[in-house]
Amino acid sequence: MGTTQLETVPEPKYWHLKNVIGEALDSEFSIGEILPNERDLAARFGVARATLRQALEQLELEGRLQRRRGVGTTVAPPRMGVAVGSPRQNWPGNDDDWRTVDCMQTLAPVAVARLLDQDPARTVHLVRRSRVSGGQPVAAELLYVTESAVPELSGIDAPAGPARARAVLRELHRLDLEGEDRSVELASARADDAKELDRLPGAPVLLVTTRYFAQGRTAAVSMATYRADTCRLTFGDTGDVEIHHGAERQAQAS
Give the range of 40-48, 66-74, 145-153, 192-200 binding its own copies by CB under 8 A: 192-200
The Cα angle at residue 243 between residues 239 and 244, in degrees rounded to 5? 125
Instruction: Among 51, 58, 73, 118, indicate the residue that binds its own copies (CB under 8 A).
Output: 58
H/E segment holding residue 68: strand 65-68
Instruction: Among 41, 115, 139, 220, indicate the residue that binds its own copies (CB under 8 A).
Output: 115
Site string for its own copies, 149-178 (x = CB under 8 A): ------------------------------
112 with 88: CB under 8 angstroms?
Answer: no
Instruction: Among 110, 134, 155, 176, indicate the residue that binds its own copies (CB under 8 A).
Output: 110
Cβ neighbours of residue 72 closer than 8 Å, sequence gap 6 or more: 34, 35, 37
Distance, CA of 170 to CA of 250 (rounded, Å): 44
- Closest distance between its own copies and the C-beta of residue 176, in Å? 15
- Closest distance between its own copies and the C-beta of residue 45, in Å? 16
Strand partners, 124: 106, 146
Interface with its own copies includes 147 (CB under 8 A)? no
Interface with its own copies includes 248 (CB under 8 A)? yes
